[in-house]
Structure 1
Amino acid sequence: MSIDFQNAEKSPEDVYTKDAVIETSVDDVVVGTKHTVRGLKPRHAQMMAIAGAIGTGLFVGTGSALKRAGPLGLLLGYVLYSGLIWTSYNAMCEMVTWLPVDGSFLHLAGRFVGPSFGFGMAWLYTYNNAVIVAAEATAVAGFVNYWNDSISNGVWCALFIVSCFLLNVFGVRIYGEGEFWLSSFKVFLVVCLMVFTVVTMCGGNPLHDAFGFRYWKNPGVFGDYLVKGPAGHFAGLFSIFVQAAFAFGGPDMIAIAAGEIQYPRRVIPSVTKRVIYRLIFFFVGGALCVGILVPHNDPILGTSQKGGGSSPFVIAATRLQIPVLPDIINATLLTSAWSVGLDCCYCATRSLYSLSLSGHAPKIFQRTWRGVPTASVIVICLVGCLSFMSLSNDSVVVFNWITNITGSGILLVIALLHFMYIRWHAALKAQGVDRSQLPFHKRGQIYLSWFACIAYVILLLTNGFYIFVPGHWDTPDFLFAYLAIPAFVVPFLGHKIYRACKGHTRLGLIPAHEIDLFSGKAEIDEEEKTYPELAEGKGAKFERWLWG
């Protein structure tokens, strides 16, 4: 076993592991050779998490959400979900800071629960993110149509896919920079829209209308969803709770990059603490702004408009007769969709790389160039070409069926994540590992993870509740709500059957005292010794405070 580190005197971004061979296996889950590079800085990691969350769910989806629940229902739904997602970030952070290896939580799923569990979870995650790349390509084309629909959408889809390939294939540092700047636009937009809300509600608009919280009084703080009265208010609130889960995303964006983040045991906890509070600020603040700017009975809310025309912020700017702002918002929505697609392309390539390391995908996906699994990048970008199906009326239905699996995928992944944490916690206890000695831990997290796991299962099973109300059945919505379940169960059971046919006798959970907690840990402990001392000075301290 050998580990070759670059000279520690070089800049932090040049410190990485190379050819660290970890000769161990857990059943058929193998820890392979590390060829990726730790090139992601804290600011890259933070913007990756923000990029995966802040998107059309906040800028556009809040419009239909406001129509269903009203301003107070929208705000309460986002506040309640913020507490739930906070537990998920903490659970993930504990596990991946202990073992920030290539493949991250997808590799650890096979070690902490069982090979079939890891197989099913990794393939679900890979499919989910790969198809989102195609979906975001069509979204980019849609936002361009706001200004010009004379050019074929295929041109914009092609440009998007090529950009994802180029930014991902030439090194993780280039990807990190591209994601950082694309994400910066949407963060800047959220802040500007909050300022816009305060100014306009106080009368700073062409109509000189100081409307304040007028729309909270008329038409009211709650909407009636599906039925009238208190039952309709509750249905609206619950629908926001579900919608928030799709809008917020999950902690996977940070976790999947654990093997490529510089100083992971210091940076990941620091980034996690910052990003979750910033996401809560953006989403809760954004929900409050939407409820102030537009009445929940506005006829345009929830309808399909060209480009970003469905955004409540665009609707508000139009109502107040503010020129140019709708174009600015649409432009930022365009960069937002581009950013989310780029992020999902990265996640899908690393999850496919993880599958290969674990022996669940062809070995060609382990091959890297400049520290990037290039074969994985090529395949995911080819999957992105499914977006061209949306250009044909004959194939658009098939494309919608393909993308519908991504609907509740994030809910299922986070539920599985908490189950992973429960098994990992049991292993720590069974093997006498003191949690207080972990790089990161939260008191009482095991109880929070039990609660969160049950909550996410309930959300998964009920996220399409409205389609079972008489007169509201919709087959595409049913697929969007529940197709992720068989997308996990089928490969999970298929892998179990395959293992049984191969003569494996242990097909259930790995016993807690046998869970592999330590393979790869010694190499990471040794790697930490090569890190340079933290730079002093006000500038360096401010940067650490800002980014982690």
Structure 2
Amino acid sequence: MMVSKGQQQELKRTMKSRHLFMISLGGIIGTGLFLGSGYTVSQAGPIGAMVAYLVGGFIMYLTMLCLCELSVAMPVSGSFQAYTTRFISPAIGFTVGWNYWLGWAVTIALELLSAGVLMQRWFPHSPAWIWCLIFGSALFLLNLLSTRAFAETEFWFASIKVSAIVLFIILGGGAMFGLIDMKGEQAAPLLSNFTNFGLLPNGFVGFLMTMITVNFAFQGTELIGIAAGESEDPGKNIPKSIRAIVWRTLFFYVLAIFVLSGIIPYKEAGVIQSPFVLVFDKIGIPYASDIMNFVILTALLSVANSGVYASTRILWSLSHDNMAPSALGELNKNGVPKNALLLTMSVALLSLLSGLVAEDTVFLWLISLAGLGTIVSWIAITVSQLAFRKQYVAKGGNLEKLKFKTPWYPYLPILAIFLNLCVLVSLAFAPDQRMALYFNIPFMIVCYMYYKLRVERKEKVLEKDTYQDSWIKINEKS
């Protein structure tokens, strides 16, 4: 049963502050940390990995400050795609929106593949693609229920993995400094891994190659902006959630990478086995590695769950702005974009490629595609903030009326744009991930040209100036 034509235009505001925070955290703590960190350590070395995550976290912080101003001023589902459309150009908004959707759809595939690989620890002779199909079907059914059901599920998923990371830091740190005996080890490693291999054992290029993986790890913070359209009190909840997510994410990532790098020599790290499970194997606590494997499994499914939410809401937003077929904007009786969900899950079946190609190869392909989607989206956020502020002032808006203002304007967004562009360029230095450029650049060109040649000619998508003028008047009254 579909909702009525009038009802289908708006999503329901049912999310509380704790939902926003955990949805964003749930989108971050997944493959990028539990599996991608192994690749980062192997390429950048122990010290380089920590520096890479600190740099990536700094870029995330700058970008989220820009997003906060936009999301508080305009709390709409679809977030930065809508901002790019209104304040830069509809053609670029169209391209960014579809590119972000593709990035999250690929991320879902990546998380499903990673979950399938983890299941092989317990079922070594089972193919990964079977588990991808099973988990993908379960997520599809879960997301059909309602936004509130998704938010509650994500809240508890995220709570489990945050608790597991805290436990990992405590137990791993104890083993690293000799408070807990390690299986088969003569002495605690202490800081030997940090001192034995130098600052960047594979040189600066090795460090540069990790940046797209690191930024993929932080993908998900922008979910706060996407969920703004379904938040109960955006003006209060969004800044609060963004501040919490940035600092807690950095805390979890940096400490976890410090412990992981201190116990595992960088040459032993990789992308097939989770380095977190490997640490617990080394500690030798009975069943600890299996428990961690299970927790990581729930973490990956949590990120996939967030990805399903993000990608379907982006498609809804595109349809709402006449940039996608109207069918993708139709909501079922539970307020869920059913057709958008179907399309997203069909692309997530890319995870089944593991039945034809080696899992590690598919993993790097998918993580590079998803990481590139993140960077393009973050660039769009920062450019949109610059354009929004400029147009807001030009049309007579009072800056004192903005409930949140990005600090150090315009220097902060300009720095964020520059750093995001540096990460984008770094993708060209990684042979195994360079294919993302070969696929994604033509995809964005096709999206842009399709809009200019087909969509723009058929109808005027947005009355841009009229919209901005009316919005400024509404904002001034509030």
TM-score by length of 2: 0.89
Q: Are residues 1:338 and 2:319 paired?
A: no
Shift of residue 258 of structure 1?
1.1
Q: Is the Cα contact below 8 Å between 2:109 and 2:366 reproduced in 1? A: no
Q: Which AA in structure 2 matches 1:276?
A: V
Distance 1:129 1:524, change over 3 A: farther
Matches within 5 A, 1:293-372: 293-297=263-267, 300-302=268-270, 305=272, 310-368=273-331, 369-372=333-336
- The match for 1:209 is 187
- The match for 1:13 is none
Identical pairs, percent: 28
TM-score by length of 1: 0.78
Q: Is the Cα contact below 8 Å between 2:101 and 2:314 reproduced in 1? A: yes
Cα RMSD (Å) of the superposition?
3.2
- The match for 1:287 is 257
Q: Is the Cα contact below 8 Å between 1:67 and 1:223 reproduced in 2? A: no
Moved more, 405-414 or 241-250: 241-250
**2 CA distance for matches of 1:116 and 1:344?**
24
Aligned partner of residue 187 in structure 1, secondary structure: helix
- The match for 2:434 is 478
Q: Which AA in structure 2 matches 1:442?
A: T
- The match for 2:78 is 103
Q: Deviations over 1:108-154 (max 9, x none)?
A: 22111111011111111112212322232222211111111344545
Q: Which AA in structure 2 matches 1:130?
A: A
Aligned partner of residue 405 in structure 1, secondary structure: helix
Distance 1:71 1:150, change over 3 A: closer
Q: Which AA in structure 2 matches 1:357?
A: H
- The match for 2:423 is 459
Q: Which AA in structure 2 matches 1:249?
A: Q
Q: Which AA in structure 1 matches 2:393?
A: K
Matches within 5 A, 1:156-195: 156-195=131-170
**1 CA distance for matches of 2:407 and 2:253?**
26
- The match for 1:544 is none
**2 CA distance for matches of 1:439 and 1:240?**
37
Q: Which AA in structure 1 matches 2:303?
A: V
Q: Is the Cα contact below 8 Å between 1:138 and 1:387 reproduced in 2? A: yes
- The match for 1:85 is 60
- The match for 1:488 is 444
Q: Which AA in structure 2 matches 1:199?
A: G
Distance 1:115 1:522, change over 3 A: same
Q: Is the Cα contact below 8 Å between 2:23 and 2:223 reproduced in 1? A: yes
- The match for 1:222 is 199
Shift of residue 360 of structure 1?
1.3
Question: Computing the radius of gyration over CA atoms, which structure comes out larger, 1 or 2?
Answer: 1
**2 CA distance for matches of 1:193 and 1:481?**
36
Q: Deviations over 1:17-71 (max 9, x none)?
A: x9997xxxxxxxxxx9643111112111111111111112212222232222222
**1 CA distance for matches of 2:27 and 2:76?**
21
Distance 1:479 1:284, change over 3 A: same
Q: Is the Cα contact below 8 Å between 1:19 and 1:33 reproduced in 2? A: yes
Q: Which AA in structure 1 matches 2:269?
A: L
Q: Which AA in structure 2 matches 1:352?
A: L
Q: Is the Cα contact below 8 Å between 2:398 and 2:476 reproduced in 1? A: no
Q: Which AA in structure 1 matches 2:275?
A: P
Aligned partner of residue 464 in structure 1, secondary structure: helix
Aligned partner of residue 38 in structure 2, secondary structure: helix
Shift of residue 348 of structure 1?
0.9
Select 2:240's aligned residue among 258, 270, 276: 270
Q: Deviations over 1:156-185 (max 9, x none)?
A: 223312221222111111000111111112
More helix by share: 2
Shift of residue 280 of structure 1?
1.1
- The match for 1:44 is 19
Distance 1:431 1:276, change over 3 A: same
Q: Is the Cα contact below 8 Å between 1:202 and 1:209 reproduced in 2? A: no
Q: Is the Cα contact below 8 Å between 2:181 and 2:188 reproduced in 1? A: no
Matches within 5 A, 1:374-393: 374-392=338-356
**2 CA distance for matches of 1:442 and 1:493?**
33
Aligned partner of residue 197 in structure 2, secondary structure: coil
Distance 1:188 1:450, change over 3 A: same
Shift of residue 518 of structure 1?
5.3
Shift of residue 204 of structure 1?
2.8
**2 CA distance for matches of 1:361 and 1:130?**
16
Shift of residue 521 of structure 1?
7.5
Shift of residue 499 of structure 1?
5.6
Distance 1:62 1:139, change over 3 A: closer
Higher relative contact order (CA 8 A, sep 6+): 2
**1 CA distance for matches of 2:351 and 2:39?**
25
Q: Is the Cα contact below 8 Å between 2:107 and 2:304 reproduced in 1? A: yes
Runs of at least 5 residues in structure 2 that lack an aligned partner in the other structure = none
Q: Which AA in structure 2 matches 1:421?
A: Q
Distance 1:412 1:102, change over 3 A: closer
Q: Deviations over 1:408-432 (max 9, x none)?
A: 1111111122111111111112112
Q: Is the Cα contact below 8 Å between 1:133 and 1:344 reproduced in 2? A: yes
Q: Which AA in structure 2 matches 1:290?
A: L
Q: Deviations over 1:350-400 (max 9, x none)?
A: 011111101111212222122222222222223333433432469999999
Q: Which AA in structure 2 matches 1:453?
A: I
**1 CA distance for matches of 2:420 and 2:134?**
37
Shift of residue 481 of structure 1?
4.6
Select 2:411's aligned residue among 434, 447, 457: 447
Q: Which AA in structure 2 matches 1:280?
A: L
Distance 1:400 1:89, change over 3 A: closer
Distance 1:73 1:515, change over 3 A: farther
Q: Deviations over 1:178-197 (max 9, x none)?
A: 11111112111111111012
Aligned partner of residue 336 in structure 1, secondary structure: helix
Select 1:432's aligned residue among 396, 400, 406: 396
Q: Is the Cα contact below 8 Å between 1:131 and 1:406 reproduced in 2? A: yes
Shift of residue 349 of structure 1?
0.6
Select 1:117's aligned residue among 82, 85, 92: 92
Shift of residue 255 of structure 1?
0.9
Q: Which AA in structure 2 matches 1:490?
A: V
Q: Is the Cα contact below 8 Å between 2:61 and 2:246 reproduced in 1? A: yes
Moved more, 430-439 or 377-386: 377-386
**2 CA distance for matches of 1:152 and 1:247?**
26
Q: How many residues matched?
A: 472
Shift of residue 210 of structure 1?
3.6
Select 2:337's aligned residue among 373, 384, 388: 373
Distance 1:332 1:523, change over 3 A: farther
Q: Is the Cα contact below 8 Å between 2:76 and 2:226 reproduced in 1? A: no
